[in-house]
Homo-oligomer: A and B are copies of this chain.
């Protein structure tokens, strides 16, 4: 961040009065520009005994399997964002969303929230960001080809909790170094 998005003047980086962190400050129009974590909202879509996964068309982790998820938009509820992403990435319609897993990923300043969701029909097909979309039984989950740890954790919790029929909300911090091979 180099220039003020309001007035175009060059920004300074310093701690504002009454604050305790460096911020990007515009002395021309007296604006402090904050940068905050972003929310990724997604679903674990379920049809009968199977769960819906998408094979990623984009980096990072192109070609690996993921749950449909993406950045929450302004003026959107988390449930609306998770529903929208599931339709955009998998052309799947979901209902009855129940919050299930929450992850903090401080190294990339992202918060993930996944909802268990019922597919209203078994229909699905690859959206723009997916190479392939498919329903998987538990024994067919491609565990070695999952895109991110948050996907693996969510699926592991799901199959474990499904055995008991109780699905408590699961929170977890994913603490990693910034080495790209550990990304997410």
Contacts of A6 in B (CB 8 A): 1-3
Which one of A46-54, A106-114, A152-160 is at the B interface? A106-114
Tell me if A183 is interfacial: C-beta within 8 Å of chain B. no
Question: How far is the CB of A111 from the nearest CB of chain B, in Å?
Answer: 6
Contacts of A80 in B (CB 8 A): 104, 106
Tell me if A5 is interfacial: C-beta within 8 Å of chain B. yes
Within 8 A of B (CB), among A88-133: 99, 102, 104, 106-107, 109, 111, 128
Are A39's CB and B3's CB within 8 A? no
Question: How far is the CB of A25 from the nearest CB of chain B, in Å?
Answer: 13
Question: How far is the CB of A43 from the nearest CB of chain B, in Å?
Answer: 14
Tell me if A76 is interfacial: C-beta within 8 Å of chain B. yes
Contacts of A8 in B (CB 8 A): 2-3, 8, 10
Are A36's CB and B35's CB within 8 A? no
- With contact pairs A3-B7, A71-B36, A73-B21 given, residues A78 and B104 touching in the complex (Cβ less than 8 Å): yes
